[in-house]
Amino acid sequence: MLEQIINRYVNTGITQIVAGIYHTNEASIRLFSSVGFIPICNEPDQDGFINVMFHY
C-alpha cells in the first residue's frame, strides 16, 4: 500500500511524503524504512511520534 501511495505522487510535483509513527510501533517503523522512508528525528515528539520522510 505504501508503494502505491509513493507511485501515485511520483510525477505530480510533490517532492516528499511525511508520516508520523508512534515510537513504540517497531513493525511500522521497519515497514516504512523498507520502502525508503528515513527518520527526520530519532527522538519522539511531544506526542510520542517519530516523523519519517520519503523524498523523491
Question: Which residue ranges form the domains of the chain, and what is each CATH number?
Answer: 2-8+15-55 (3.40.630.30)
Instruction: State the CB neighbour count (10 A cutoff) for residue 37.
Output: 22
In tens, the pLDDT along 7-55 reads: 999 999 999 999 999 999 999 999 999 999 999 998 999 999 999 999 9
pTM of the model: 0.89
Residue 17's nearest CA partner among 25, 4, 45 is: 4
Are the beta carbons of 38 and 18 closer than 8 angstroms? Answer: no
Q: What is the pLDDT of residues 38-51, one digit of tens each?
A: 999 989 999 999 99
Helix then strand then coil, % of the chain, to nearest 5 = 30, 30, 45
The H-or-E segment that residue 54 falls in is strand 49-55
